[in-house]
Amino acid sequence: MKTSLRARLLVAAIATLSCSNALGAAADFAACLAQLRAQAAGEGISARTRDSALAAVEPDPSVIEAMAYQPEFRIPIWDYLAGLVDEQRIADGRSRLREWAPVLAAAEEKFGVDRHTIVAVWGVESDYGRLMGTRPLVRSLATVACLGNRQRFFRAELIAALRIIDSGDFVPEAMVGSWAGAFGQTQFMPSTFLRIAVDFDADGRRDIVGSVPDALGSTANYLKRAGWVTGAPWGYEVRLPANYSGPSGRRDKQALTQWSALGVRRIDGSALDGPGAAALLLPAGAAGPAFLVFRNFDAIYAYNAAESYALAIAQLADRLRGAGAWATPWPTDDRGLSRAERKELQERLIAQGYDIGTADGMIGPKTRAAIQQFQNARGLAADARAGGRVLDALRATPSPAAQ
Protein backbone atom coordinates (compact mmCIF):
# COMPACT_ATOMS: atom_id res chain seq x y z
CA MET A 1 0.00 0.00 0.00
CA LYS A 2 2.75 2.36 1.02
CA THR A 3 4.77 1.44 -2.05
CA SER A 4 1.77 1.82 -4.28
CA LEU A 5 1.14 5.32 -2.97
CA ARG A 6 4.80 6.22 -3.40
CA ALA A 7 4.75 4.91 -6.96
CA ARG A 8 1.59 6.88 -7.73
CA LEU A 9 3.21 10.05 -6.43
CA LEU A 10 6.21 9.37 -8.64
CA VAL A 11 3.97 8.93 -11.66
CA ALA A 12 2.33 12.23 -10.85
CA ALA A 13 5.67 13.94 -10.22
CA ILE A 14 7.26 12.70 -13.43
CA ALA A 15 4.13 13.49 -15.43
CA THR A 16 4.13 17.14 -14.33
CA LEU A 17 7.61 18.45 -14.92
CA SER A 18 6.78 21.93 -13.68
CA CYS A 19 6.37 20.51 -10.19
CA SER A 20 9.40 20.81 -7.90
CA ASN A 21 8.86 17.17 -6.84
CA ALA A 22 9.51 16.13 -10.41
CA LEU A 23 12.84 17.92 -10.46
CA GLY A 24 13.70 16.21 -7.21
CA ALA A 25 12.68 12.82 -8.60
CA ALA A 26 14.69 13.41 -11.78
CA ALA A 27 17.75 14.39 -9.72
CA ASP A 28 17.29 11.28 -7.54
CA PHE A 29 17.09 9.10 -10.63
CA ALA A 30 20.20 10.67 -12.17
CA ALA A 31 22.07 10.11 -8.90
CA CYS A 32 20.87 6.50 -8.75
CA LEU A 33 21.96 5.94 -12.36
CA ALA A 34 25.41 7.33 -11.56
CA GLN A 35 25.63 4.88 -8.65
CA LEU A 36 24.60 2.03 -10.92
CA ARG A 37 27.28 3.00 -13.45
CA ALA A 38 29.87 2.97 -10.69
CA GLN A 39 28.61 -0.38 -9.43
CA ALA A 40 28.71 -1.78 -12.98
CA ALA A 41 32.30 -0.58 -13.38
CA GLY A 42 33.20 -2.18 -10.04
CA GLU A 43 31.72 -5.47 -11.21
CA GLY A 44 33.75 -5.53 -14.39
CA ILE A 45 31.16 -4.37 -16.92
CA SER A 46 33.02 -2.80 -19.85
CA ALA A 47 32.99 0.97 -20.39
CA ARG A 48 31.55 0.31 -23.85
CA THR A 49 28.49 -1.48 -22.43
CA ARG A 50 28.07 1.06 -19.64
CA ASP A 51 28.10 3.87 -22.18
CA SER A 52 25.89 2.23 -24.78
CA ALA A 53 23.29 0.79 -22.39
CA LEU A 54 23.12 3.32 -19.57
CA ALA A 55 23.61 6.59 -21.43
CA ALA A 56 20.49 8.75 -21.60
CA VAL A 57 18.32 6.27 -19.70
CA GLU A 58 15.22 7.90 -18.27
CA PRO A 59 12.65 6.42 -15.92
CA ASP A 60 9.73 4.78 -17.74
CA PRO A 61 6.42 6.14 -16.38
CA SER A 62 4.55 3.07 -17.67
CA VAL A 63 6.81 0.87 -15.54
CA ILE A 64 6.07 3.00 -12.48
CA GLU A 65 2.35 2.63 -13.22
CA ALA A 66 2.73 -1.14 -13.56
CA MET A 67 4.52 -1.19 -10.18
CA ALA A 68 1.66 0.75 -8.63
CA TYR A 69 -1.07 -1.37 -10.19
CA GLN A 70 -2.72 -3.66 -7.71
CA PRO A 71 -5.53 -5.70 -9.22
CA GLU A 72 -8.73 -5.03 -7.35
CA PHE A 73 -9.93 -8.53 -8.10
CA ARG A 74 -8.33 -11.69 -6.92
CA ILE A 75 -8.80 -13.83 -10.01
CA PRO A 76 -10.51 -17.16 -9.23
CA ILE A 77 -8.33 -20.09 -10.25
CA TRP A 78 -10.93 -21.28 -12.77
CA ASP A 79 -10.71 -17.93 -14.59
CA TYR A 80 -6.93 -18.05 -14.54
CA LEU A 81 -6.78 -21.59 -15.95
CA ALA A 82 -9.60 -21.07 -18.48
CA GLY A 83 -7.58 -18.31 -20.15
CA LEU A 84 -4.21 -20.10 -20.06
CA VAL A 85 -5.31 -23.60 -21.02
CA ASP A 86 -7.95 -23.01 -23.67
CA GLU A 87 -8.59 -24.92 -26.91
CA GLN A 88 -6.55 -22.43 -28.92
CA ARG A 89 -3.45 -22.84 -26.75
CA ILE A 90 -3.81 -26.63 -26.88
CA ALA A 91 -4.16 -26.59 -30.70
CA ASP A 92 -1.20 -24.18 -31.04
CA GLY A 93 0.87 -26.39 -28.73
CA ARG A 94 0.13 -29.47 -30.84
CA SER A 95 1.24 -27.70 -33.98
CA ARG A 96 4.45 -26.52 -32.23
CA LEU A 97 5.12 -30.14 -31.17
CA ARG A 98 5.00 -31.18 -34.82
CA GLU A 99 6.93 -28.19 -36.11
CA TRP A 100 9.78 -28.46 -33.60
CA ALA A 101 9.86 -32.25 -33.15
CA PRO A 102 13.59 -32.71 -33.93
CA VAL A 103 14.62 -29.90 -31.55
CA LEU A 104 12.32 -31.23 -28.82
CA ALA A 105 13.71 -34.74 -29.27
CA ALA A 106 17.22 -33.32 -28.86
CA ALA A 107 16.15 -31.43 -25.71
CA GLU A 108 14.61 -34.59 -24.25
CA GLU A 109 17.84 -36.43 -24.95
CA LYS A 110 20.13 -33.77 -23.49
CA PHE A 111 18.11 -32.56 -20.48
CA GLY A 112 15.76 -35.46 -19.72
CA VAL A 113 12.63 -33.28 -19.74
CA ASP A 114 9.69 -34.38 -21.88
CA ARG A 115 8.61 -32.34 -24.89
CA HIS A 116 5.05 -31.78 -23.64
CA THR A 117 6.21 -30.02 -20.50
CA ILE A 118 8.75 -27.91 -22.43
CA VAL A 119 6.09 -26.79 -24.92
CA ALA A 120 3.57 -26.16 -22.11
CA VAL A 121 6.01 -23.78 -20.38
CA TRP A 122 6.59 -22.02 -23.72
CA GLY A 123 2.84 -21.67 -24.26
CA VAL A 124 2.10 -20.28 -20.81
CA GLU A 125 5.17 -18.02 -20.56
CA SER A 126 4.92 -16.23 -23.91
CA ASP A 127 2.06 -17.82 -25.92
CA TYR A 128 4.74 -19.66 -27.93
CA GLY A 129 6.81 -16.53 -28.47
CA ARG A 130 3.93 -14.21 -29.37
CA LEU A 131 3.89 -12.20 -26.12
CA MET A 132 7.37 -11.46 -24.84
CA GLY A 133 6.93 -7.87 -23.67
CA THR A 134 7.98 -4.80 -25.62
CA ARG A 135 9.67 -2.53 -23.08
CA PRO A 136 13.41 -1.84 -23.34
CA LEU A 137 14.81 -4.03 -20.58
CA VAL A 138 17.62 -1.80 -19.33
CA ARG A 139 15.24 1.14 -19.01
CA SER A 140 12.64 -0.95 -17.13
CA LEU A 141 15.24 -2.39 -14.79
CA ALA A 142 16.82 1.01 -14.15
CA THR A 143 13.36 2.34 -13.30
CA VAL A 144 12.50 -0.41 -10.82
CA ALA A 145 16.07 -0.51 -9.48
CA CYS A 146 15.98 3.21 -8.68
CA LEU A 147 12.33 3.83 -7.86
CA GLY A 148 10.81 0.49 -6.80
CA ASN A 149 10.64 -1.17 -3.43
CA ARG A 150 12.96 -4.11 -4.17
CA GLN A 151 15.92 -2.04 -5.30
CA ARG A 152 18.65 -4.44 -4.24
CA PHE A 153 17.09 -7.31 -6.19
CA PHE A 154 16.56 -5.22 -9.31
CA ARG A 155 20.00 -3.60 -9.18
CA ALA A 156 21.49 -7.08 -9.34
CA GLU A 157 19.22 -7.87 -12.30
CA LEU A 158 20.29 -4.69 -14.08
CA ILE A 159 23.95 -5.60 -13.61
CA ALA A 160 23.11 -9.08 -14.95
CA ALA A 161 21.46 -7.48 -18.01
CA LEU A 162 24.62 -5.43 -18.62
CA ARG A 163 26.70 -8.58 -18.29
CA ILE A 164 24.55 -10.23 -20.98
CA ILE A 165 25.15 -7.26 -23.29
CA ASP A 166 28.87 -7.42 -22.46
CA SER A 167 28.97 -11.10 -23.41
CA GLY A 168 27.71 -10.30 -26.90
CA ASP A 169 24.57 -12.42 -26.65
CA PHE A 170 22.39 -9.31 -27.09
CA VAL A 171 22.68 -5.70 -28.16
CA PRO A 172 20.77 -3.37 -25.80
CA GLU A 173 18.03 -2.61 -28.39
CA ALA A 174 17.20 -6.31 -28.76
CA MET A 175 16.60 -6.76 -25.04
CA VAL A 176 12.92 -6.03 -24.56
CA GLY A 177 10.57 -7.62 -22.07
CA SER A 178 8.14 -7.17 -19.22
CA TRP A 179 8.17 -4.17 -16.92
CA ALA A 180 9.77 -6.32 -14.21
CA GLY A 181 12.67 -7.47 -16.36
CA ALA A 182 11.61 -10.91 -17.66
CA PHE A 183 12.44 -11.33 -21.33
CA GLY A 184 12.39 -13.67 -24.28
CA GLN A 185 10.25 -16.67 -25.20
CA THR A 186 11.16 -18.24 -21.84
CA GLN A 187 10.59 -15.00 -19.85
CA PHE A 188 13.86 -15.40 -17.95
CA MET A 189 15.16 -12.73 -15.60
CA PRO A 190 18.67 -11.62 -16.66
CA SER A 191 20.35 -13.48 -13.76
CA THR A 192 18.44 -16.64 -14.75
CA PHE A 193 19.60 -16.18 -18.32
CA LEU A 194 23.22 -16.02 -17.18
CA ARG A 195 22.88 -19.22 -15.13
CA ILE A 196 20.60 -21.27 -17.36
CA ALA A 197 20.31 -20.16 -21.01
CA VAL A 198 21.89 -22.44 -23.61
CA ASP A 199 22.91 -21.96 -27.24
CA PHE A 200 20.88 -24.93 -28.45
CA ASP A 201 21.13 -24.13 -32.16
CA ALA A 202 24.91 -23.76 -31.81
CA ASP A 203 25.21 -20.46 -33.67
CA GLY A 204 27.45 -18.98 -30.98
CA ARG A 205 24.75 -16.85 -29.27
CA ARG A 206 22.27 -17.64 -26.54
CA ASP A 207 19.20 -16.03 -28.06
CA ILE A 208 16.01 -16.76 -26.13
CA VAL A 209 14.23 -13.98 -28.05
CA GLY A 210 14.87 -14.88 -31.69
CA SER A 211 15.79 -18.58 -31.57
CA VAL A 212 13.12 -21.17 -30.77
CA PRO A 213 15.74 -23.92 -30.26
CA ASP A 214 17.62 -21.72 -27.76
CA ALA A 215 14.33 -20.97 -25.94
CA LEU A 216 13.26 -24.64 -25.80
CA GLY A 217 16.70 -25.86 -24.75
CA SER A 218 16.94 -23.16 -22.07
CA THR A 219 13.50 -24.09 -20.70
CA ALA A 220 14.49 -27.76 -20.52
CA ASN A 221 17.77 -26.81 -18.83
CA TYR A 222 15.85 -24.73 -16.28
CA LEU A 223 13.59 -27.65 -15.34
CA LYS A 224 16.55 -30.04 -15.20
CA ARG A 225 18.43 -27.70 -12.86
CA ALA A 226 15.28 -27.36 -10.74
CA GLY A 227 15.40 -31.09 -10.01
CA TRP A 228 13.35 -32.65 -12.81
CA VAL A 229 13.07 -36.43 -12.56
CA THR A 230 13.17 -37.94 -16.06
CA GLY A 231 10.11 -40.01 -16.90
CA ALA A 232 8.21 -39.14 -13.71
CA PRO A 233 4.77 -37.48 -13.75
CA TRP A 234 4.09 -34.06 -12.20
CA GLY A 235 1.09 -35.64 -10.45
CA TYR A 236 -2.50 -36.51 -11.22
CA GLU A 237 -6.07 -35.78 -10.26
CA VAL A 238 -7.39 -37.71 -7.26
CA ARG A 239 -10.69 -38.44 -5.57
CA LEU A 240 -11.13 -37.63 -1.88
CA PRO A 241 -13.36 -39.44 0.60
CA ALA A 242 -16.56 -37.56 1.56
CA ASN A 243 -15.98 -34.69 4.01
CA TYR A 244 -12.20 -34.90 3.72
CA SER A 245 -10.50 -32.78 6.36
CA GLY A 246 -6.97 -34.22 6.38
CA PRO A 247 -3.68 -32.56 5.45
CA SER A 248 -3.12 -30.64 2.21
CA GLY A 249 -0.65 -28.14 0.75
CA ARG A 250 2.37 -28.36 -1.52
CA ARG A 251 4.89 -28.54 1.31
CA ASP A 252 3.10 -31.30 3.24
CA LYS A 253 4.55 -34.36 1.51
CA GLN A 254 3.44 -37.79 2.66
CA ALA A 255 4.10 -41.35 1.54
CA LEU A 256 1.51 -42.76 -0.87
CA THR A 257 0.61 -45.39 1.74
CA GLN A 258 -0.34 -42.52 4.07
CA TRP A 259 -2.58 -40.90 1.43
CA SER A 260 -4.13 -44.30 0.72
CA ALA A 261 -4.87 -44.76 4.41
CA LEU A 262 -6.62 -41.36 4.38
CA GLY A 263 -8.92 -42.65 1.64
CA VAL A 264 -7.37 -40.82 -1.33
CA ARG A 265 -7.67 -42.69 -4.65
CA ARG A 266 -6.85 -41.95 -8.27
CA ILE A 267 -9.73 -40.21 -9.98
CA ASP A 268 -10.88 -43.46 -11.62
CA GLY A 269 -10.96 -45.13 -8.18
CA SER A 270 -7.76 -47.12 -8.66
CA ALA A 271 -4.89 -47.36 -6.17
CA LEU A 272 -2.28 -44.59 -5.90
CA ASP A 273 1.03 -45.01 -7.65
CA GLY A 274 3.98 -42.81 -8.49
CA PRO A 275 7.54 -41.81 -7.62
CA GLY A 276 8.04 -41.21 -3.90
CA ALA A 277 6.24 -38.87 -1.56
CA ALA A 278 3.43 -36.63 -2.75
CA ALA A 279 1.54 -33.56 -1.59
CA LEU A 280 -2.21 -33.02 -1.87
CA LEU A 281 -3.22 -29.83 -3.66
CA LEU A 282 -6.72 -28.44 -3.21
CA PRO A 283 -6.60 -25.24 -5.28
CA ALA A 284 -10.27 -24.41 -4.64
CA GLY A 285 -10.81 -26.29 -1.39
CA ALA A 286 -12.00 -29.85 -0.81
CA ALA A 287 -15.12 -29.28 -2.95
CA GLY A 288 -13.07 -28.70 -6.14
CA PRO A 289 -10.53 -30.71 -8.12
CA ALA A 290 -7.83 -32.40 -5.99
CA PHE A 291 -4.34 -33.43 -7.07
CA LEU A 292 -1.47 -35.47 -5.73
CA VAL A 293 1.75 -33.80 -6.87
CA PHE A 294 5.31 -35.14 -6.96
CA ARG A 295 8.75 -33.64 -7.23
CA ASN A 296 8.34 -32.59 -10.87
CA PHE A 297 5.49 -30.31 -9.84
CA ASP A 298 8.00 -28.51 -7.61
CA ALA A 299 10.36 -28.15 -10.57
CA ILE A 300 7.59 -26.46 -12.57
CA TYR A 301 6.70 -24.36 -9.53
CA ALA A 302 10.31 -23.15 -9.33
CA TYR A 303 9.89 -21.47 -12.73
CA ASN A 304 7.46 -18.89 -11.35
CA ALA A 305 6.59 -19.53 -7.71
CA ALA A 306 2.79 -19.82 -7.92
CA GLU A 307 0.73 -22.99 -7.61
CA SER A 308 -1.90 -21.79 -10.06
CA TYR A 309 0.87 -21.16 -12.59
CA ALA A 310 2.35 -24.63 -12.09
CA LEU A 311 -1.10 -26.19 -12.44
CA ALA A 312 -1.63 -24.36 -15.73
CA ILE A 313 1.63 -25.81 -17.12
CA ALA A 314 0.82 -29.27 -15.74
CA GLN A 315 -2.67 -29.23 -17.24
CA LEU A 316 -1.49 -27.92 -20.61
CA ALA A 317 1.25 -30.59 -20.73
CA ASP A 318 -1.35 -33.31 -20.03
CA ARG A 319 -3.68 -31.95 -22.71
CA LEU A 320 -0.78 -31.89 -25.20
CA ARG A 321 -0.16 -35.55 -24.34
CA GLY A 322 -3.76 -36.24 -25.34
CA ALA A 323 -5.36 -36.42 -21.89
CA GLY A 324 -8.87 -35.02 -21.43
CA ALA A 325 -9.97 -32.19 -19.15
CA TRP A 326 -9.97 -32.82 -15.40
CA ALA A 327 -12.99 -34.80 -14.19
CA THR A 328 -13.98 -32.74 -11.16
CA PRO A 329 -15.67 -29.43 -11.94
CA TRP A 330 -14.59 -26.22 -10.21
CA PRO A 331 -16.95 -25.28 -7.38
CA THR A 332 -18.74 -22.52 -9.29
CA ASP A 333 -21.81 -22.10 -11.49
CA ASP A 334 -20.10 -19.23 -13.33
CA ARG A 335 -17.42 -20.82 -15.49
CA GLY A 336 -14.17 -19.16 -16.59
CA LEU A 337 -13.80 -17.98 -20.18
CA SER A 338 -11.32 -18.91 -22.89
CA ARG A 339 -9.48 -16.12 -24.67
CA ALA A 340 -11.86 -16.46 -27.64
CA GLU A 341 -14.85 -16.09 -25.30
CA ARG A 342 -13.29 -13.05 -23.60
CA LYS A 343 -12.96 -11.42 -26.99
CA GLU A 344 -16.54 -12.35 -27.85
CA LEU A 345 -17.72 -10.87 -24.55
CA GLN A 346 -15.96 -7.61 -25.38
CA GLU A 347 -17.39 -7.55 -28.92
CA ARG A 348 -20.88 -8.02 -27.48
CA LEU A 349 -20.32 -5.23 -24.94
CA ILE A 350 -19.19 -2.93 -27.77
CA ALA A 351 -22.29 -3.92 -29.79
CA GLN A 352 -24.36 -2.94 -26.74
CA GLY A 353 -22.80 0.53 -26.90
CA TYR A 354 -20.24 0.25 -24.10
CA ASP A 355 -17.03 2.17 -24.70
CA ILE A 356 -14.27 -0.29 -23.85
CA GLY A 357 -11.86 0.42 -26.71
CA THR A 358 -10.99 -2.53 -28.95
CA ALA A 359 -11.85 -6.15 -28.23
CA ASP A 360 -8.40 -7.60 -27.49
CA GLY A 361 -9.41 -10.38 -25.12
CA MET A 362 -7.62 -8.67 -22.21
CA ILE A 363 -10.01 -8.00 -19.36
CA GLY A 364 -8.99 -4.62 -17.93
CA PRO A 365 -10.68 -1.97 -15.79
CA LYS A 366 -12.79 -0.61 -18.70
CA THR A 367 -14.18 -4.03 -19.59
CA ARG A 368 -14.94 -4.77 -15.94
CA ALA A 369 -16.70 -1.43 -15.50
CA ALA A 370 -18.84 -2.16 -18.59
CA ILE A 371 -19.65 -5.65 -17.33
CA GLN A 372 -20.78 -4.15 -14.03
CA GLN A 373 -23.00 -1.59 -15.79
CA PHE A 374 -24.51 -4.31 -17.97
CA GLN A 375 -25.10 -6.54 -14.93
CA ASN A 376 -26.81 -3.67 -13.11
CA ALA A 377 -28.97 -2.85 -16.14
CA ARG A 378 -30.05 -6.50 -16.41
CA GLY A 379 -30.64 -7.03 -12.70
CA LEU A 380 -27.75 -9.52 -12.41
CA ALA A 381 -25.37 -9.80 -9.48
CA ALA A 382 -22.94 -6.97 -10.29
CA ASP A 383 -19.59 -8.65 -9.59
CA ALA A 384 -17.88 -7.10 -12.68
CA ARG A 385 -16.35 -10.48 -13.49
CA ALA A 386 -15.87 -11.76 -17.04
CA GLY A 387 -17.46 -15.18 -16.55
CA GLY A 388 -19.75 -17.56 -18.36
CA ARG A 389 -22.93 -16.18 -16.81
CA VAL A 390 -22.51 -12.64 -18.09
CA LEU A 391 -21.44 -13.95 -21.52
CA ASP A 392 -24.60 -16.07 -21.69
CA ALA A 393 -26.69 -13.02 -20.72
CA LEU A 394 -25.01 -10.95 -23.45
CA ARG A 395 -25.63 -13.70 -26.01
CA ALA A 396 -29.32 -13.60 -25.06
CA THR A 397 -29.51 -9.80 -25.39
CA PRO A 398 -30.11 -8.47 -28.93
CA SER A 399 -27.76 -5.61 -29.77
CA PRO A 400 -29.52 -2.22 -30.07
CA ALA A 401 -28.64 -2.04 -33.77
CA ALA A 402 -30.53 -5.29 -34.41
CA GLN A 403 -33.67 -4.17 -32.64
Q: Which residues bind Ca ion (CB under 5 A)?
A: 199, 201, 203, 205, 207, 211, 214
Q: Min. distance of Cβ 116 from Ca ion in angstroms?
A: 23
CB count within 10 Å of CB 45 equals 21
Q: Judged by CB, which is closer to Ca ion: 203, or 273?
A: 203
Q: Min. distance of Cβ 183 from Ca ion in angstroms?
A: 15
Q: Min. distance of Cβ 170 from Ca ion in angstroms?
A: 11
Q: What CA–CA distance (Å, rounded) separates 218 from 207? A: 10
Q: Judged by CB, which is closer to Ca ion: 104, or 386?
A: 104
Query: Which residue has its beta carbon closest to Ca ion?
Result: 199
Q: Judged by CB, which is closer to Ca ion: 40, or 215?
A: 215
Q: Judged by CB, which is closer to Ca ion: 99, or 203?
A: 203
Q: Min. distance of Cβ 87 from Ca ion in angstroms?
A: 32
Q: What CA–CA distance (Å, rounded) separates 308 from 64? A: 26
Q: Min. distance of Cβ 212 from Ca ion in angstroms?
A: 10
Q: Judged by CB, which is closer to Ca ion: 183, or 259?
A: 183
Q: Judged by CB, which is closer to Ca ion: 59, or 184?
A: 184
Burial class from Cβ neighbours inside 10 Å (0-12, 13-18, 19+) for residue 75 reads middle
Q: Min. distance of Cβ 205 from Ca ion in angstroms?
A: 5
